[in-house]
Amino acid sequence: MEIVHYEFSDQAVLKKKPVVSVLMLAYNHSKYIGKSIEGVVKQQTKFPIELIIGEDWSPDNTLAIVLAYQKRYPDLIRVVTANNNVGARKNSYRLETAARGKFIAYCEGDDYWHEPKKLEVQVDFLERNPDYGLVFTNADSVDFITGKRKKFVIPVRPELCKEDDPYMQQLTGALTIWPLTVCVRTELSLQILKDCPEVTDSSYAMGDTQRYLEIARRARIKYMPVSTATRNLLPESATNSQDIKKKAKFIESSQRLILHYLDKYPLTDKRDKEVRAWVARRALYYAYLCRDKKKASAEMAILESLGKGVPWQHHLYAIGSRNKLTYLLISLLFRMLKSLSNLKLTAVRQYRSYNSS
């Protein structure tokens, strides 16, 4: 893939052999990118790093901001851009192929790292464990409008997969990897970029899931249960939307991708059914939210054909998807059940507090 671009950097002072290349996609990020860059600049490492910013012809003043930072930190920052917008997938590709470090880390221009030892700890682990290809952590989120922070927001759900297998854990939703928490071996990532067309296939709404599934097929993956990075929750972004139909479209793309991988790397019959059941349950939930009766019926049929039983909640989702009235009734029922559950939990806590006093 040939992508025309040019680079702003000072070759005379740039670090010659960076150990880590930090890749930062930037588009319309003028409000946030200063904090993103500062999070990289403040990394405390015993080794040199580089920050490559892919500025994708933003209509705001993102380019001016990143060029000012490049002047301030000429030994650290390289800015890659062009006189046209190439899109996130191609922007990511040109950054990946420009990386000079032994390892790659990611931080998009609207997120930031809050842990100054992030790279130090992750690289140390990978250097000591050559059989691992990728290490990642948990993260916090901050509502950009209200400033409210939530800690450890990346779901880790071991109950969805009993196996210590990151490939299966990703397929079943037990393990979720966010790029801003990742550090990966460059050689491995570039090999996958070369050999796996799924990574650059723009028909999929996501570009990272494919990479992490492929890595899990080739190397071990380490999860560190600490939070090193913060995602800004914006009203609208590629991964966060207030429009439920947009979310459902993203989930549908994820469903198509996972089913593709079941064909690409066939599993045992038992494992295959576990993945298909999880994918269908998730799709049925979003069909309910969108009141998509046809989609809900199709997913119910899949669940019933797998012979694994259909949870009672999903029967209700199917009923709620039929029309506006059933949706309102089922939604009300779920709210009532949640309130009862909260009351029960409060009562249990009060009982335990009383008995321990």
pLDDT band for position 180 (cuts 50, 70, 90): very high
Judge whether 220 lies within some domain. yes
Judge whether 60 lies within some domain. yes
pLDDT of residue 240 exceeding 70, the answer is: no
Q: Are 194 and 72 contained in the same domain?
A: yes
The answer to whether the CB of 139 falls within 8 A of the CB of 180 is yes
For residue 18, which phi and psi values (nearest 5 degrees)?
A: -65, 140
Q: Which residue shows structure tokens 């990272």?
A: 208
Q: Are 252 and 271 contained in the same domain?
A: yes
Q: Are 209 and 325 contained in the same domain?
A: no
Q: Are 122 and 192 contained in the same domain?
A: yes
pLDDT band for position 3 (cuts 50, 70, 90): confident
Last residue of a domain, one of 202, 233, 264: 233
Neighbours of 263 (CB within 10 A): 7
Span 151-165, pLDDT tens digits = 999 999 999 998 999
Q: What is the pLDDT of residue 237?
A: 58
Span 251-291, pLDDT tens digits = 999 999 999 999 999 999 999 999 999 999 999 999 999 99
Q: Are 86 and 147 contained in the same domain?
A: yes
Q: Are 83 and 130 contained in the same domain?
A: yes
Q: Which residue shows structure tokens 């705001």?
A: 60
Percent of the chain with pLDDT over 90: 90
Q: Are 329 and 300 contained in the same domain?
A: yes
Judge whether 181 lies within some domain. yes
Judge whether 239 lies within some domain. no
Q: Are 198 and 295 contained in the same domain?
A: no
Neighbours of 65 (CB within 10 A): 21
Q: Are 116 and 221 contained in the same domain?
A: yes
Tokens linked to 279: 């994918």
Judge whether 135 lies within some domain. yes
Q: What is the pLDDT of residue 347?
A: 81
Buried b (16+ CB within 10 A) or exposed e, 280-312: bbbbbbbbbbbbbbebbeebbebbeeeebebee
Q: Are 23 and 166 contained in the same domain?
A: yes
Domain span at residue 90 reads: 6-233
CATH number at residue 10: 3.90.550.10
Q: Which residue has the higher pLDDT, 39 or 243?
A: 39
Last residue of a domain, one of 233, 254, 272: 233
Judge whether 1 lies within some domain. no
pLDDT band for position 309 (cuts 50, 70, 90): confident
Judge whether 30 lies within some domain. yes
- How much is the average pLDDT of 85-101? 96
Q: What is the pLDDT of residue 236?
A: 59
Judge whether 238 lies within some domain. no
- How much is the average pLDDT of 212-237? 93
Domain count, the chain: 2
Span 55-89, pLDDT tens digits = 999 999 999 999 999 999 999 999 999 999 999 99
Last residue of a domain, one of 194, 210, 233: 233
Q: Are 229 and 261 contained in the same domain?
A: no
In 3D, which of 167, 121, 160, 118 has the Cα closest to residue 140? 118
- How much is the average pLDDT of 83-96? 95
Q: Are 220 and 249 contained in the same domain?
A: no
pLDDT of residue 24 exceeding 70, the answer is: yes
The H or E element that residue 7 is part of is strand 6-8
Q: What is the pLDDT of residue 356?
A: 67
In 3D, which of 105, 137, 104 has the Cα closest to residue 226? 137
Going from the C-alpha of 137 to that of each of 39, 196, 304, the distances in angstroms are: 16, 25, 36
Quote the pTM value: 0.93
